[in-house]
Amino acid sequence: MSGLSVEVVKSAFQRESLVLATRDSQPGWYKPSECLWSSIEQPGKAILKEYPVEFNGFFIESLGVQPFTIQMVYNDLFATNEDAEISEIKSKIKYLNAFLSAKPCDFIDPETLMQKSIFPILYPGGPKVIQPASVEFAIVDREYLASYFRKAIKMLDFTQEVPEPEGLL
């Protein structure tokens, strides 16, 4: 690569689709601006999950691939509407929690999120409905207690398991 500057290489990658990545579970060739350095699928983005973490500097700094950030997770969760799949909303909440567990963030306003209909509530008798935090519900911290009350009270439909933050990068 003697004689080639980073800008020349970056420009070539931006003109041509030279990055092998996965979009919607299908591999293909993409421009760096179409990619995201992440191990997590993101709608509309080609994901670079097959590359070792040691390549992040090359992709992010040299080619300009965008890294997956807590701001993206927050914005995605905030933009969620009530028609979204419950499993999708739960994944977004888990990712936000994993990011926050790894590194606290001051730009997130919990009050704003509490007003959004993003909480999967299990109603007595079985229906699950996405609701804001203003709806009264119990948070299960002991499964044996949940079994006693499942048919009598509304409960947050969540487990205490969260993905490891390392899986997000």
Query: Could you report the per-residue pLDDT of 92-131, keeping only the tens digit for each?
Result: 888 888 888 877 777 788 888 899 999 999 999 878 999 9
Domain end: 14, 41, 67, which one? 67
In a domain, 167, yes or no: no
DSSP state letter for 4: -
77 and 146 in a single domain? The answer is: yes
In a domain, 168, yes or no: no
Distance of alpha carbon 130 from alpha carbon 40, whole angstroms: 23
88 and 144 in a single domain? The answer is: yes
31 and 103 in a single domain? The answer is: no
95 and 149 in a single domain? The answer is: yes
Long-range contacts formed by 112-115: CB under 8 A, 24+ apart? 112/78, 113/77, 113/78
Range(s) of the domain holding residue 140: 70-162
Q: Please state the pTM of the whole predicted model.
A: 0.69
Angle of CA points 99, 112, 37, to nearest 5°: 30
pLDDT score at 160: 62
80 and 11 in a single domain? The answer is: no
Number of domains in the chain: 2
In a domain, 1, yes or no: no
